A = this chain, B = another copy of it.
Amino acid sequence: MADQQLFIKMALDAWNTYLKRTGDLFNSLSDEQIMQETSPGRNTGTYLLGHLIAVHDRIIELFFLGERLHPELDEAFLKNPDKSGFDMPPVETLKQYWATVHQTLAGYFANMKADDWFARHSSVSPEDFEKEPQRNKLNLLMNRTNHLAYHYGQVIYLKK
């Protein structure tokens, strides 16, 4: 296997592993459980579910792949903390968004060429990318995987 292909497989495997763990966890919880705080005074499962969907939905634009599916989630789940009073879709709807956003991403990822994974994403300028070639799409996916694992560690506290 060529080096690039091998790295891409390593990073995508880790991403898919944590996506599956987190998706399976949300599916194993009732809507009522997800609406609870993950720990007293901390983020609810609803907030973390919406937050992860919004963060992952943004990847579509960061990777120049197309238009986001759910920019309307940003106000409640990205720009503001939990319990800020913004409207949140019901958990059932968020669970559907989780599925469609990740199916959409998987479709886009399947069509990306190896070189494209090592090209810049939209939050780094061409000039900065010249100096810091590690700030590529694959690196962003690795960061998002760590971010996902971080919140997965909190969502798991909803489990009885």
By a beta-carbon cutoff of 8 Å, the part of chain A in contact with chain B is 1, 3-4, 6-7, 9-11, 13-14, 18, 38-40, 42, 118, 133-134, 136, 138-139, 142-143, 145-147, 149-154, 157
Contacts and interface: CB of A to CB of B under 8 A. Distances in A.
8 contacts: A1-B134, A6-B118, A6-B134, A14-B146, A38-B39, A152-B153, A153-B153, A153-B154
A134 B4 contact: no
Contacts of A151: 153
B13 A134 contact: yes
B143 A14 contact: yes
A6 B137 CA distance: 13
Contacts of A152: 150, 153
Nearest to A3: B3
User: Which has the most chain B C-beta neighbours within 10 Å: A4, A138, A142, A147?
Assistant: A142
Contacts of A14: 142-143, 146
Contacts of A143: 14
Given A152-B153, A153-B153, A133 B11 contact: no
Contacts of A146: 14, 18, 145-146, 149
A160 to B, nearest CB: 10
B153 A11 contact: no
A83 to B, nearest CB: 16
A18 B147 CA distance: 10
